[in-house]
Structure 1
Amino acid sequence: MKKTTILLPAVVILAALALSSVFIVDEREKALVLQFGQIRDVKTEPGIGFKIPMIQQVVKYDDRILSRDIDPIEVTPLDDRRLVVDAFARYRIADVVRFRQAVGAGGVSLAEGRIDTILRSRLREVLGSVSSDVILSSNRAELMARIRDSARTEAEALGIEIVDVRLLRSDLPEQNLDATFARMRAEREREAADEIARGNEAAQRIRAQADRTVVEIVSDARRQAEIIRGEADARRSGIFAEAYGADPEFFGFYRSLEAYRASMKEGNSTVVMSPDSDFFTYFESVGAAEPPSLPGAAAPQAPAAAPAAPASN
């Protein structure tokens, strides 16, 4: 009975010691075995590990890629347009021994504070070397790569690898929005005025060229019309001269008919003249004057008496 009373607690104590000497590291972790604060063993592969109970302790760190959001900060680009930048970083603990030596018992929380400091410094340095248009553009991959590379070099001293840095948002400070919008509006209005002025200048050039072309075309058309009209008048005069030379009496008769037609149109003014006037030569009786006979035509019958001169139309 006494042996059982003694052995049972001993077995329990031994079992507890055995269990406390065993620890498990899964695939998402890395572990350090510490003895009085000093590193005695490193477990980077998943599996079972052993330690000395009561003397050694195990500290585990996440081996996955972690995310760290950075509080918005103000940066001043080259063109002095202040911007509020919001960013985040992806990192992982690459060297647990160096990480433990750098942060001690502070662990991940202390390391993230240092990461914030590093990234803020790198953001101000890189974004301050370019203009705000580059920061606000959609093509910011080169800037993010520069920030990541410069922060990665400094973070290696902590045993941390900076995997990626991303700019989430780049905005103007609230107090500068109105002034910035007014300046942007003024710039756009100036550009619009310049475009309108250039458009008006081009329109005036085109209009002047068109007017000049119109004048040239009309002048040339009038010149050609005058030439054609002169040629036609010359031909008409030639035809009249030829007709007059062929039969002067018939030509006189024809011209008299044209004069009668022009003077006796409806709406003409009243004409009063003597019936004995030469104007009515071809209205007289046959005995007084015979109208010329047309070539190849029968002689016309003489009227009984000459008509009286019309008083009006």
Structure 2
Amino acid sequence: MGKTKFLFPILVVAVVVALSSIFIVDEREKALVLRFGQIKQVRVEPGLGFKVPMLDEVVRYEDRILSLETPVIEVTPADDRRLEVDAFVLYRIADVRQFRQALAAGGEREAAIQLNDILDGQIRAVLGSQGVTSNTILSPERAGLMNQIRNRADSRAKALGLEVVDVRLRQTNLPEQNFDATLQRMIAEREREATDERARGREAAQRVTATADRTYEEILSEARRDARIIEGEADAERNKIFAQAYAQDAEFFEFYRSLAAYEHSLTGNNSSMVLSPDSEFFNYLRSDQGAAANRASAAQ
């Protein structure tokens, strides 16, 4: 009975010591075993771990992806149009040993503060770099800018044992005091572009009109030239026919031409003509000339 009284407390102490030397690492955690502030173990895999009771301390850190929202900062792109932007950042503790050594007892709160400072500088550096305008930030090229910010921030966050998983620019707004001025400048730019477009349109219309006028004159000139050629050829053919007819019978040809002249002259309601009695116009209407013409016609 006396031995039992001594064994029971010893057994209890042994159980307590055994339990205090065991710790469990959850799958959502990473753990460090510290002894007097010095790192003795790094546990990144879930499961049971062992430590020296009363001497070792287990410090746990999140192994899940953490988020951070940066405060609104003002950036000045290459076109000097100031913008207010803020970002949403996803990060995780990649190297728990480096994290502890870099931040000591600051932990995740200190990590968020330093990471925010890193992002502030990298957002200003990327969005304020040469060739990046406000239109670029608001265009589909925005994704490439966010990747640049993530890569640059990740390279600097490695010194803290952190990995920057993603960076997203959320709001991109104009400062209130610059909104009206920027709006007026945008309106002026659009009006100038519209004026330039109208001027180019008028210039193009003038070129088209000038080309059409020149083509019209060329076609008309060619048509007139062809018409004169055809008229000349027709006149030549007509004169040739007249010459052949005249050569066959000159007297009959003159008679035929006189009748044609009478027909054209004595048309309409007014068939009166005032001529000299000895005019040659009515030679073939006289009896002697008419008889001669009849004889010539009969001979033909």
Instruction: Name the TM-score class by shorter chain.
Output: 0.7 to 0.9
Give yes or no for contact 1:34–1:40 (8 Å, CA) kept in 2.
yes
Q: Deviation per CA, 1:273-309, whole angstroms, max 9, x where unpaired? A: 69x9976666678997465254677xxxxxxxxxxxx
Q: Could you tell me whether the CA contact under 8 Å between 2:98 and 2:159 is conserved in 1?
A: yes
| Aligned 8 A contact 2:84 2:173 in 1 | yes
Cα 1:287/1:61, change in 2 over 3 Å: closer
Larger helix percent: 2
1:92, distance to aligned residue in structure 2 (A): 1.9
CA distance in 2, matches of 1:217, 1:149: 68
* Equivalent in the alignment of 1:271: 272
Q: Which amino acid aligns with 1:171?
A: N
Secondary structure class of the residue paired with 2:129: coil
The aligned counterpart of 1:309 is none
1:77-116 map, 5 Å: 77-116=77-116
Moved more, 246-255 or 23-32: 246-255
* Partner in structure 1 of residue 59 of structure 2: 59
State whether residues 284 and 290 of structure 2, in contact with CA within 8 Å, keep that contact through their aligned partners in structure 1: no
Q: TM-score, normalization: structure 2?
A: 0.80
Normalising by structure 1, report the TM-score: 0.77
Aligned residues of 1:76 and 1:128 also touching (Cα < 8 A): yes
Give the corresponding residue for 1:187.
189
Distance 1:295 1:2 in 2: 184
Instruction: After superposition, give the CA deviation of every residue in 1:94-128 in whole Å (9 maximum; x if it has no partner).
Output: 22223223333332122111111111011112221
Deviation at 1:75, TM superposition (A): 0.7
Quote the residue 1:251 is aligned against: 253
Unaligned runs of 5+ in 1: 298-313
In structure 1, distance between residues paired with 2:274 and 2:151: 119
- In structure 2, give the amino acid aligned to 1:259: A
Aligned amino acid, residue 272 of structure 2 = V
Distance 2:173 2:47 in 1: 48
Q: Distance in 1 between matches of 2:205 and 2:289?
A: 79
Supply the AA of the counterpart residue of 1:245.
A
Say if 1:68 and 1:88, in contact at 8 Å, map to a contact too.
yes
Measured against aligned partners, the alpha-carbon deviations of 1:37-73 in whole angstroms (never above 9, x if no partner) come to 4433322222211234444332111223333232332
2:31 corresponding residue in structure 1? 31
Number of the residue aligned with 1:172: 174
**Inter-partner Cα distance in structure 1 for 2:244 and 2:40:** 138
Deviation at 1:74, TM superposition (A): 1.3
Amino acid at match of 2:139: S
Larger radius of gyration: 1
Q: Secondary structure at the match of 1:85?
A: strand
- 1:256 to 1:288, Cα distance in 2 relative to 1, 3 A: closer
1:80 to 1:238, Cα distance in 2 relative to 1, 3 A: same
Letter in 2 for 1:269: N
Q: Is the 8 A contact 2:90 2:164 kept in 1?
A: yes
Which region of structure 1 is more displaced relative to structure 2, 288-297 or 179-188?
288-297
1:222 match: secondary structure: helix
Q: Which runs of 5+ in 2 are unaligned?
A: none
The within-5 A match list for 1:214-253 is: 214-253=216-255
Residue 76 of structure 1 deviates from its aligned partner by 1.0
What is the aligned partner in structure 2 of residue 204 from structure 1?
206
Alpha-carbon RMSD: 3.4
- Partner Cα distance (2:64, 2:10) in 1: 41
**Sequence identity (%):** 57
Query: Is the CA contact 1:281–1:289 (under 8 Å) kept in the aligned structure 2?
Result: no
